Amino acid sequence: MKEEHKEGVQGHEGGAHGHGEKYKFGMVIDLDKCTGCGSCMVACMTENNVPYKKNETNKLDSITWMRVFKATNGKPYPDTDICYFPRPCMHCEGEHGHAPCVSVCPATATDYNYETGIVSQIYTRCFGCRYCMAACPYHARYFNWWDPVWPDDTKESLSPDVSPRMRGVVEKCSFCFHRFQGARDKAYAEGRREITENEYQTACTQACPAGAIVFGDLNNPEHKVHELKQSPHAFRLLERLGTNPKVYYHSTRSWVRRAGDNYLTNERSK
Amino acid sequence: MDSALIPKGLKRCPFPQFALWIGAWSFIMLWAAIAAVIAWAYGLNTTNLNDYFGFGAWITADLAIIALGAGAFFTGFMRYVLGIDEFKNILNYAVIIGFICYSSALAILALDIGQPLRGWFIFWHANVHSMLTEVAFCISCYFTVLAIEYIPIILENRQLDKVPTLHAFSHNLHHIMAVFAATGAFLSFFHQGSLGGVAGVLFGRPFAFRVHASIWPTTFFLFIFSAIACGPCFTILVTRLTEAITRKKLVARNVILKLATVSGWLLVGYLSVKMLDTLYWAAVTLPKMGVNFFDMYPQAPFNLWILIAELGICGAIPAAILITKKTRENEFLLILAAILNCTGICINRYVMTVQALALPVMPFDKFYNYVPNWIEWITSLAPFAFMAILLSLSYRYLPIFPQEKELNP
Amino acid sequence: MLPFVFEWHWDLGHVVFHGGLWYALSILGIGMTYVSVKTYFDVKRGGH
Amino acid sequence: MSLGRRGFLQFCLGAGAGITFSPLPWKLMDDSAIWTQNWPWTPVPPGGEVSIEKTACTLCPGGCGITVRKVKDRAIKIEGMKGHPINDGGVCLLGMSALYKLYGGARIKGPLKRAGKRGEGKWEQIPWNAAIAEISKELNQKRQDGLSHTVASMTGTDRGTVSQLFKRLLAAYGSPNVFTAPSLQDSERLALKLMQGDYASAGYDLENARYVVSFGASIIDGWGSPVRAFRAHTRWAEKAAEGAKLVQVEACLSNTAAKADTWLTIKPGTEAALALGLAHVIIKEKSYNKAFIRDYCLGFEDWQDSGGTVHKGFKQSVLKEYSPDAVSRITGVPADRISVIAREFAQAKGALAVWGRGKGTRPMAVHDIMAIHALNALVANINKPGGVTVLPDVTTVPWPSLVQDDIAKSGTKQPRVDRAGTDAFPLSESLFDQLPKLIKGGTGEYPLSVLLVHGANPYYTEHDRTAVAEALDRIPFIVSFSSRMDETANHADLILPNHTSLERYEDVPTPISSSLPVMSLSRPVVSPQCDTRHVGDSLIAIAKSLDGSVAESFPWDDYESLLKATLGDKWSVLEKEGYWKDEGYTPADWSQAFRNASGKFEFLATTLLAGAKSAKDCLPQYSRAKLKGEEFMYPLILIPCESMRLADGPVANSPLMTKTVADTVLKNDDLCVEVNPKTAIAHGLTDERMALLSTPKGKAKVKIHLFDGIQPGVVAIPTGLGHTAYDDYLKGKGVNSNDLIGMIEDEASGLDIAWGSRASLKSI
């Protein structure tokens, strides 16, 4: 079984329960700034070697770790409004790391890393039962229904930092965990124990041409996300389920904030 | 031709007729085998499963088959643990049915995973907090128990029984069978329960999520309850079907009726608990998540009718028939009730997996539907063919019905 | 499942789970061993 | 001793048990699992030394600075360049797609000569010297025959050294027929020439603008320099508390309209009327900048010509014709909203009126632009922070003077085949869209014999594409310099493939709509992957192989040395930083700003007076576009709907871009058009069902997508799909909107200003 952990192992450093929660990485996505352009999706897919098929119009088998959903306010013309919800993996913390997907995985192929707050996925251990997908209300998990195929010479553009996944396993956004590893290794090599905000940024954050995505340590008051998440206009998706996600959204439009969660008919949103 | 193998004193159909019968079912098995090979070779893109319906026909079939196969452990439990002696007359058959159900379920599970060659990681890298791990362990262990229970039945074959070692082995196995049966019952309670837990723990899925009693969601107990309520009915159905096909009386009527009564009362019990659970879910669990009860039943096939079908038509009606002496003793109503009962449980297993996933949770997400394709259909239905074949073989070559001689003079 | 897996750590869940599992497996194992051994002696005593 | 049946059975059982309890099954199980983790057909990207290279993106006119992450010699990721004045780290999905253009399908791997029929896709691979010889033979022949003027070139843009090289080649060779792909800049330059005397595109200080009225410009859907526009929008969102506002004038709820503070729904094509309506209110309420109007403007008040006739100025003409009520009738915008917006516009600091429908790639009516730009003049937001200015360009070292022999001289003196610059369209420079009409109609002009195409894909991108294709098919010899097999390359006779954007040098001039002079340098970050050549090198080689004096105008050894010489002292900065910007640049004072003969901002375009039928034609005005087709046959209005996720220009989508396209836009190979549920009821259409979309130009089967955010009676068709070339990841998907939209000619410029078409939808 030596080979088995060769690649794709993520996020197990200091993994035991109760160890110091060093970082709590998360995002604040400003929906007032998001233009729905889709650059985050492409940045994510190129960074993480996400494959593509000739026909990707069936969104039910199309792997997009970062997917931009479109919400409408349901009103007729001309009072209609739309808003985009970029949806990476929420890296739910649940209660003490009890993320919806982590506890259900029968083979411990996905794990909540207490050092970073990142939910990992070990592709080489996953045997494709898809229970985690059933557990995730955000549809953030994707199954490799096909063998990945890169046409012509496009294999040349694959990144060695992220191993391409074989058919039959589940994958999802990792908050570009390999970038965290790289930043941490660099910091350690330079004799530092902490990494700075700029050293570790996800590919989508970096690419976003509108600057709508902000990424950082939610626990660190010096990081932008720490302040942004406290805005009265900040909210999270499906917060009421108790998933305790680490991706926050921000919108000044009340209907958008309401669209982020379920409410009873006459219930007031938060 | 094969008369040497047929139990003494029992009449069986001519071999060519038997061969034709087996051949017909084998054809379906072959078809399913081809489907399985396609799915294994080319991957799960050959099915209609997708990211929104990671669970589909296969899991439904799995859960349903295992619930229906619950007759085995529960009859064993009643015979060996509770000491209800009449059930020895149907226990062999119940065990074989159970064996068939569980082996089919395991085969379908092997199909349903994306990396079948890594299926054993569920044991090697087991996450003990996962309900699915519990399911895997309990099913495998219980399957072993069923195999152990099946061995002495096989060894009773006329020719095998002549071998002294095998005879002795069989005898000794019989001797301590109660221990195995009790262990099997223990395992079964847990895996039926953990199958329920699989759905009930999904706190991201309002449709499936149920309030927890200690570490288990209520579905844990509901699945056990529903399985033992329908398992005996399935045993009755298969027995009656066998009798119809063989045109013989195989099990005494009082045994069947007793089983029906037990099933009926269990169903009553199950339904009352299930109703309470549903009410609590609708009135407390869902509103906490901001979800209206009626949002859970938005459109066909997942509208309120599916709930009415599950709990009313296929729940209350068969329960009423089975617990009432007069209706129970009416052969037509008995069979109808058994069918309804089994259907109700199948619907329950279907909604807890497929409907639970079909309903979008994010308010801006879309509702999609899913229809299994032929590969899923044929492999999900293949257990029936397997059942036909294995039951026929067992019936022909093994003395499985102790009452057969006395009922067919 | 086994303590040599690198992220292994003990908790109550393991105790309960493995307790139940090995209890069941032991019964099955001991039972089958008992039956086999007894059969062996039975046959031997039965004289061949 | 023979092996009895019993013995055999015992042996088998023993063997079975032995194998079962041996380590073998476990070993096999483990091995098979390890095998699944290392399937040889799942690639393992090799590692290596990582480097980051600075370059610039050339896939759109946005001019972003990018960095390319490399592992050894493989380019693996494109990111935005931090600190670049245009995009500061941001990057769009098209920019990231350059990797696919580099390694992906449909690449032309070496020079190709047509072997089969045109467009058949049969090619013969030939060496480079043969390819150059092929073309020089053709060109020399034409020169000998005195037909040098029948050789034409078409480039995607007329800015930057490569398109200047084309211009120079044709001038030295002897042809006036230098075409550029029609763009908003063509009409914009005309409007600015007329009003400000500068033949230049507009630059906007978007970042500092505080009240932006966008007349259909999809500012966050790819308009102008997309990433810069996004960043400006983000600034507005951040400054919303301080009153930064965006008013979007559009018929459908584009992403820009959705993000705007006010969405003014308007009848398609009537934006200029609305602009004049706003002007009416501002003038009537005297809230315009009186000092600016008095001192720096011409034609605002009534005026008297040399004959003594009094003509209406802008003021009176607008007051008379464009009252809010009248405009409301034209545009469908309520009169009170017009007044409100006009007041807010007049009072705001940094009020900016922006034109350019959709991504702003298509030409507009010159008078429409004038009408919108008049608003900027009324609030005097010209050459001021947060205002509009002329696109400043970066000065470069001039090239040695052109050498023309007699053939070249007489050839270039011939009238252009598209009649640009002739009496018909005296102010226009290039009117490619006139070609179909002229070539087909044979209006006495000469036929073209050779067309060199670079950076353009007219077989795909032009309106009334079928007519364009028919016209181009009549040109006997088409040479493409494309690096990928696009529609035009597919119809070429000879292909001299260019390096892709990541393999070549190129100067990137100030991006469209920028208000700051910026130059970036696109550099080869990987060595050429195929047997391709820089288009500049191909042109120099062609020039050197031609007879006469042509070669004398091309003294450079290769493109790289040309570029170094041209960029002069900026080269070292560009090499180091990747970009150069003019920090101290400020737009000229009003006293210097206007280079008309009058030296003033001209509401009345005096340049036009001489040729105009009436003086009124020289004022900003709205004229109703004449859409082809009868209303009873085509009761709906079809408008194109542009999106960042679909590249609709000469550079096409990569598979990953197409992957981001929603299933409400493309489903399998079916294109979805947006219609309002009300339209659907009126025309018997059902959501997600197929329908036949007909316009006077063509028919297409499309899928219906009901969307509340579109005006009833209007159909929006996504652009950028319906390719017939490239690879299986793009070819055959959807419908090309250009097939359905016919040309509408702008009387002032001759440009195609079609913004839509009449259409009908029938359920099928």
Residues D567-594: pLDDT tens digits? 999 999 999 999 999 888 999 999 999 9
D439 and D560 together in one domain? yes
More confident residue, D230 or A2: D230
Chain A residues inside the 8 Å CB shell of D714: none
Mean per-residue pLDDT of chain D: 93
Name which of A46, A58, A74 is nearest D96 (Cβ-Cβ): A46
Task: Give dist(CA D521, CA D537) in Å, integer.
Answer: 17
Closest to B93 measured CA to CA, from B246, B306, B206, B224: B246
Instruction: Quote the minimal CA–CA distance from A12 to chain C in Å.
Output: 7
Closest to D91 measured CA to CA, from A38, A26, A182, A179: A38
More confident residue, D291 or A18: D291
Q: Which residue on chain B is closest to C7 by alpha carbon?
A: B125
Report yes or no: C36 at the B interface, CB cutoff 8 Å.
yes
pLDDT at residue D370, rounded to an integer: 96
- Confirm whether D191 is domain-assigned: no
Instruction: Give pLDDT tens digits for B343-367.
Output: 999 999 999 999 999 999 999 999 9
- Confirm whether A77 is domain-assigned: yes
pLDDT at B327 over 80: yes
Task: Give dist(CA D619, CA D300) in Å, integer.
Answer: 9
D122 and D98 together in one domain? no
Fold of domain B15-407:
Formate dehydrogenase/DMSO reductase fold (1.20.1630)
Q: If pLDDT is split at 50, 70 and 90, which confidence band does D99 have?
A: very high
pLDDT at residue D498, rounded to an integer: 97
Cβ(B43)–Cβ(A146) under 8 Å? yes
D605 and D685 together in one domain? no
Report yes or no: C29 at the B interface, CB cutoff 8 Å.
no
Chain B residues inside the 8 Å CB shell of A168: 43-44, 113-115
Q: Which residues have C-beta within 8 Å of that of residue D564, sequence separation ≥ 6?
A: D571
Chain D residues inside the 8 Å CB shell of B120: 29, 33
pLDDT at A9 over 50: no
Task: Give dist(CA D169, CA D150) in Å, integer.
Answer: 14
Instruction: Quote the minimal CA–CA distance from B362 to chain A in Å.
Output: 7
More confident residue, D626 or D250: D250
Instruction: Quote the minimal CA–CA distance from A270 to chain D in Å.
Output: 22
C7, A111: Cβ pair inside 8 Å?
yes
pLDDT at residue A33, rounded to an integer: 95
| Chain D residues 36-55 with CB within 8 Å of chain B | 36-37
Mean pLDDT value across residues D522-539: 96
- Compute the C-alpha angle A165/A166/A168, nearest 5°: 115
Task: Give dist(CA D459, CA D488) in Å, integer.
Answer: 5
- Confirm whether A223 is domain-assigned: yes
Name which of A106, A259, A267 is nearest B132 (Cβ-Cβ): A106
Mean pLDDT value across residues A227-233: 95
Structure tokens at D537: 């090198």
More confident residue, D19 or A227: A227
Mean pLDDT value across residues A71-95: 95
Report yes or no: A159 at the B interface, CB cutoff 8 Å.
no
Chain B residues inside the 8 Å CB shell of A100: 202-204
Instruction: Give pLDDT tens digits for C1-48.
Output: 555 555 566 777 777 777 888 888 888 889 889 888 888 888 888 754
C6, A16: Cβ pair inside 8 Å?
no
D76, A82: Cβ pair inside 8 Å?
no
Overall number of domains in chain D: 5
- Confirm whether D566 is domain-assigned: yes
Query: Which run of H or of E encompasses B323?
Result: helix B317-323
D256 and D150 together in one domain? no
Instruction: Give pLDDT tens digits for D640-656.
Output: 999 999 999 999 999 99
Q: Which residue on chain B is closest to A86 by alpha carbon?
A: B364
Query: Which run of H or of E encompasses D314?
Result: helix D314-321
More confident residue, C6 or D11: D11
Q: If pLDDT is split at 50, 70 and 90, which confidence band does D26 have?
A: confident
pLDDT at residue D440, rounded to an integer: 62
D411 and D351 together in one domain? no
Chain B residues inside the 8 Å CB shell of D37: 118
Task: Give dist(CA D638, CA D713) in Å, integer.
Answer: 9
Q: What are the start-end ranges of the H helices in D46-127?
A: 93-96, 98-103
pLDDT at residue B218, rounded to an integer: 93
Q: Which residue out of B130, B359, B370 would a mutagenesis test of the A interface target, given it has the greatest number of A Cβ atoms within 10 Å?
A: B130
Question: C44, exposed or middle or buried, with CB in 10 Å at 0-12, 13-18, 19+?
Answer: exposed
Candidate from A176-190, D82-96, D426-440 with smallest mean pLDDT:
D426-440
The CATH number linked to A150 is 3.30.70.20
More confident residue, B127 or D2: B127
Task: Give dist(CA D749, CA D419) in Å, integer.
Answer: 11
Chain B residues inside the 8 Å CB shell of A267: 290
Domain of A119? 3-258
pLDDT at residue A18, rounded to an integer: 43
- Compute the C-alpha angle B340/B132/B151, nearest 5°: 70
B172, C13: Cβ pair inside 8 Å?
no
Q: If pLDDT is split at 50, 70 and 90, which confidence band does A4 have?
A: very low
C7, A5: Cβ pair inside 8 Å?
no
Task: Give dist(CA D730, CA D724) in Å, integer.
Answer: 8
Report yes or no: C38 at the B interface, CB cutoff 8 Å.
yes
Overall number of domains in chain A: 1
Query: Which run of H or of E encompasses D74?
Result: strand D74-80
Name which of A1, A35, A39 is nearest D30 (Cβ-Cβ): A1
Report yes or no: C37 at the B interface, CB cutoff 8 Å.
no
Name which of A61, A125, A143 is nearest B121 (Cβ-Cβ): A125
Instruction: Give pLDDT tens digits for D52-74.
Output: 999 999 999 999 999 999 999 99
Tell me which chains share at least 3 CB pairs under 8 Å with chain C.
A, B
pLDDT at residue D439, rounded to an integer: 66
Q: If pLDDT is split at 50, 70 and 90, which confidence band does A263 have?
A: very high
Task: Give dist(CA B226, CA B272) in Å, integer.
Answer: 11
Instruction: Give pLDDT tens digits for D390-419.
Output: 988 888 999 999 999 999 999 999 989 888
pLDDT at D441 over 70: no
Mean pLDDT value across residues D491-495: 97
pLDDT at residue A8, rounded to an integer: 39
Report yes or no: D8 at the B interface, CB cutoff 8 Å.
no
D381 and D447 together in one domain? no
B55, A130: Cβ pair inside 8 Å?
yes
Q: Which residue on chain C is closest to A11 by alpha carbon?
A: C7
D364 and D459 together in one domain? no
Candidate from A15-24, B144-153, B160-169, D750-759 with smallest mean pLDDT:
A15-24
pLDDT at A3 over 50: no
Report yes or no: D35 at the B interface, CB cutoff 8 Å.
yes
Report yes or no: C28 at the B interface, CB cutoff 8 Å.
yes
D325 and D473 together in one domain? no
- Confirm whether A265 is domain-assigned: no
3-state secondary structure of B193: helix
Count how many pairs of residues, chain B against chain D, have C-beta atoms within 8 Å.
12
pLDDT at residue C47, rounded to an integer: 52
Question: B115, exposed or middle or buried, with CB in 10 Å at 0-12, 13-18, 19+?
Answer: buried
pLDDT at residue C7, rounded to an integer: 59
Task: Give dist(CA A83, CA A73) in Å, integer.
Answer: 8
C1, B183: Cβ pair inside 8 Å?
no
In one-letter notation, the amino acid at residue D468 is: V
Query: From edge to edge, which strands make up the β-sheet containing D211-215?
Result: D262-265, D245-250, D211-215, D351-354
Chain A residues inside the 8 Å CB shell of C5: 108
- Confirm whether A197 is domain-assigned: yes
Percent helix, strand, coil in chain C, to 5, is 75, 0, 25
D545 and D652 together in one domain? no
Mean pLDDT value across residues A132-157: 94
Task: Give dist(CA B25, CA B23) in Å, integer.
Answer: 5
Separate counts of helices (H) and strands (E) for chain C = 1, 0
Cβ(D190)–Cβ(D366) under 8 Å? yes
Report yes or no: A108 at the C interface, CB cutoff 8 Å.
yes
pLDDT at residue A5, rounded to an integer: 40
Please give the share of chain D, as a percent, with pLDDT higher than 70. 99
Structure tokens at B408: 């067919």
Task: Give dist(CA A38, CA D525) in Å, integer.
Answer: 25
The full DSSP string for A204-226 is: HHHH-TT--EEEEETT-TTSHHH
Count how many pairs of residues, chain A against chain B, have C-beta atoms within 8 Å.
170
Query: Which run of H or of E encompasses D758?
Result: strand D757-763
pLDDT at residue A109, rounded to an integer: 92
3-state secondary structure of C43: helix
Report yes or no: A106 at the C interface, CB cutoff 8 Å.
no
- Confirm whether A263 is domain-assigned: no
Mean per-residue pLDDT of chain A: 90
Cβ(D187)–Cβ(D753) under 8 Å? yes
Please give the share of chain B, as a percent, with pLDDT higher than 90. 65
Cα pseudo-dihedral D373, D379, D380, D385, rounded to 10: -90
A35, D259: Cβ pair inside 8 Å?
yes
The verdict on whether omega for the bond into residue D458 sits within 30 degrees of 0, i.e. cis, is no
Q: Which residue on chain B is closest to D29 by alpha carbon?
A: B117
Q: Which residue out of B52, B55, B63, B115 would a mutagenesis test of the A interface target, given it has the greatest number of A Cβ atoms within 10 Å?
A: B115
Name which of B125, B129, B168 is nearest C13 (Cβ-Cβ): B129
Task: Give dist(CA D304, CA D311) in Å, integer.
Answer: 6
Assess whether chains C and D touch, using the rule of 3 or more C-beta pairs within 8 angstroms: no
B126, C32: Cβ pair inside 8 Å?
no
Q: Which residue out of D36, D39, D706 would a mutagenesis test of the B interface target, given it has the greatest number of B Cβ atoms within 10 Å?
A: D36
Instruction: Give pLDDT tens digits for D320-355.
Output: 999 999 999 999 999 999 999 999 999 998 999 999
D659, A64: Cβ pair inside 8 Å?
yes
- Confirm whether D278 is domain-assigned: yes
pLDDT at D31 over 80: yes
Task: Give dist(CA D169, CA A58) in Å, integer.
Answer: 49
Mean pLDDT value across residues A43-53: 96
pLDDT at residue B76, rounded to an integer: 86
Domain of D571? 112-185+403-581
B53, A60: Cβ pair inside 8 Å?
yes
Name which of C17, C28, C35 is nearest B145 (Cβ-Cβ): C28
Instruction: Give pLDDT tens digits for D710-737.
Output: 999 999 999 999 999 999 999 999 999 9
Q: If pLDDT is split at 50, 70 and 90, which confidence band does D609 have?
A: confident
3-state secondary structure of B30: helix
Mean pLDDT value across residues D739-754: 92
D289 and D234 together in one domain? yes
Burial call D349-375: b when 16+ CB within 10 Å, e when fewer: ebbbbbbbbbbbbbbbbbbbbbbbbbb
pLDDT at B409 over 80: no
D29 and D62 together in one domain? no
First vs last C-alpha separation in chain A: 50
A148, D712: Cβ pair inside 8 Å?
no
Report yes or no: B129 at the A interface, CB cutoff 8 Å.
yes
Mean pLDDT value across residues B239-244: 92
Tell me which chains share at least 3 CB pairs under 8 Å with chain D.
A, B
Q: Which residue on chain A is closest to B134 by alpha carbon?
A: A106
The CATH number linked to D704 is 2.40.40.20
Q: Which residue on chain A is closest to D99 by alpha carbon?
A: A157
What are residue A121's DSSP bridge partners?
A110
